Amino acid sequence: MNKYKIILCDDNTNREGSIKVMLRSIQKEFEFMEFGTTSFNSILTDEGNPLSDVDLLILDLYDKDTDSWLGIQCLSLLKSTNSSIKTIIFSGDKDGPERKRNFKEEFSFVIHELDKDKDEMVGLKNVVEEELILNIDDQFEIDNPFDDLVQLQIKSIGRNNLNQICLQLKDKFEIVDDIVFSKMVGGYSGAILLKFQSSNTNYILKLSKNTPSLIDELENSNKYYHKFPHDFFNYINPHRFESKNKNVVAIVIKLIEGSETFFSFATNTSTSSDSICEVLNKLFFEGESMNDHYSKHRSDEEHWSSIFDTFSNGKFNIIQNIYSELKPLTGNLNINDLENMVVNQSFESLNKKNLNIKSQLTLNHGDFHSKNILVKNNNPYIIDTGGMKNGYWCLDICRLIVDLFIVSIP
């Protein structure tokens, strides 16, 4: 990777020291960055060619020793030599007409004007990091660079965002060379899945711009996943990876080699009914199963009407879609009555005396469809921890049954 050189010019030695400390902290992440210092006089006299191979100049404007705007003189000199050195003005020692000029408009190479008293060091740090991010060489390769789908996925995530996350991955997993990604098929969530290897172990990098959803998945994994049957467990790295602007979040999941989704397993014509039953029995009934899990992990009792609390008009559209799929099986169910009960909460008017039913909640998976169950050698594994929460035990199995009907698995 090419070096990125930053030069600092400031007459205030205390502030210069603070900026150098800040730059050293950035350097830990952006190792391709190097920095140094120079003076107004060196720039104006070109003594020692101080701006040779410089990519970014951080420039003060006012020199207290000479009571003059030497920084502005430096800008004028750079302009006269057709300089293209990106410059960040970081000043604010003195007010006056000179300080109020629009330097970005007057000097095309000035990319930011920061007031040290208002923006402080954090503002300068953010601006420098933004520039470094734009200059990161690709930290990854695609095993099939001609795969249009992967290229579109990278474009949707943002190449710079992916590079930032790759830098974090390389640090966490001690990867020296570029990370090699392979395409993977995603599930229902819309997240992008890419396979990579570290120390002869394959992992899945799961990326999404729907940051709250992926953050919930990781937090739920750290909080709840270990409580589920150990035989169904798959390793998820507890660390969160994210872009500087926090627009993209990623988590890392260990790949279960040779596994397939229960959807693929059950729809494969070579899979027997006995094999499907064996997997479901292991999942729900045999030994340390989900049945055992629901018995062990109980919480407080709640009134039955709490099942309606999470619904809104938007979420009811999901019910309507499922209803249309399952219409042949629903008999005389009136979808309008159900909507009135769920969305308009007409259940409040039901006879509470006869329907005062409370049950203990259990720790549920929360999104137990056929693509969130992996199968290897007829053994099930549970993935996607984003929906884990306390609820009625039957919600998981109902979610799976509805999913199997919708995808027409016999």
Per-residue pLDDT tens over the stretch 54-104: 999 999 999 999 999 999 999 999 999 998 999 999 987 667 778 788 999
Domain boundary among 218, 238, 254: 254
DSSP letters along 361-379, please? EEEE-S---TTSEEEETTE
Backbone angles phi, psi at 380, to 5 degrees: -85, 150
* pLDDT for the residue numbered 96: 73
Edge-first strand order for the sheet with 298-303 is: 298-303, 358-364, 389-391
* pLDDT for the residue numbered 1: 64
Looking at the 3D structure of the chain, how many domains does it have? 3
* pLDDT for the residue numbered 314: 58
**Cα(first)–Cα(last) distance of the chain, in Å?**
55
Residue 127 shares a structural domain with residue 10: yes
- Please say if the pLDDT value at position 334 is more than 80: no
Is residue 124 within 8 A of residue 150, CB to CB? The reply is no
* pLDDT for the residue numbered 329: 64
Residue 100 shares a structural domain with residue 181: no
Edge-first strand order for the sheet with 4-9 is: 33-38, 4-9, 56-59, 86-91, 110-115
Residue 218 shares a structural domain with residue 339: no
- Please say if the pLDDT value at position 347 is more than 80: no
Is residue 187 within 8 A of residue 348, CB to CB? The reply is no
Q: How confident is the model at residue 258 (pLDDT cuts 50, 70, 90)?
A: very high
Domain boundary among 239, 254, 269: 254
* pLDDT for the residue numbered 90: 94
Residue 270 shares a structural domain with residue 397: yes
Q: How confident is the model at residue 356 (pLDDT cuts 50, 70, 90)?
A: low
List the structure tokens of 80.
Answer: 């006269």
Residue 395 shares a structural domain with residue 264: yes
Residue 234 shares a structural domain with residue 328: no
Residue 396 shares a structural domain with residue 264: yes
Other beta carbons within 10 angstroms of residue 386's beta carbon come to 23
Per-residue pLDDT tens over the stretch 194-212: 999 999 999 999 999 999 9
Domain boundary among 100, 134, 168: 134
Residue 295 shares a structural domain with residue 385: yes
Task: State the CATH number of the domain containing residue 120.
Answer: 3.40.50.2300
CB-based contacts of 19-22 (< 8 A; 24+ apart in sequence): 19/58, 19/90, 19/121, 19/124, 22/121, 22/124, 22/125, 22/128
Average pLDDT over residues 260-278: 93
Residue 242 shares a structural domain with residue 294: no
Task: State the CATH number of the domain containing residue 203.
Answer: 3.30.200.20
Residue 149 shares a structural domain with residue 270: no
Is residue 401 within 8 A of residue 391, CB to CB? The reply is no
Name the residue range of residue 153's domain: 140-254
Edge-first strand order for the sheet with 373-376 is: 260-261, 373-376, 379-382
Residue 156 shares a structural domain with residue 212: yes
Residue 264 shares a structural domain with residue 400: yes
Task: State the CATH number of the domain containing residue 370.
Answer: 3.90.1200
- Please say if the pLDDT value at position 315 is more than 70: no
* pLDDT for the residue numbered 404: 82
Q: What is the mean pLDDT of the chain?
A: 87
More confident residue, 157 or 308: 157
* Widest CA span in the chain: 93
Three-state SS at 86: strand
pTM of the model: 0.75
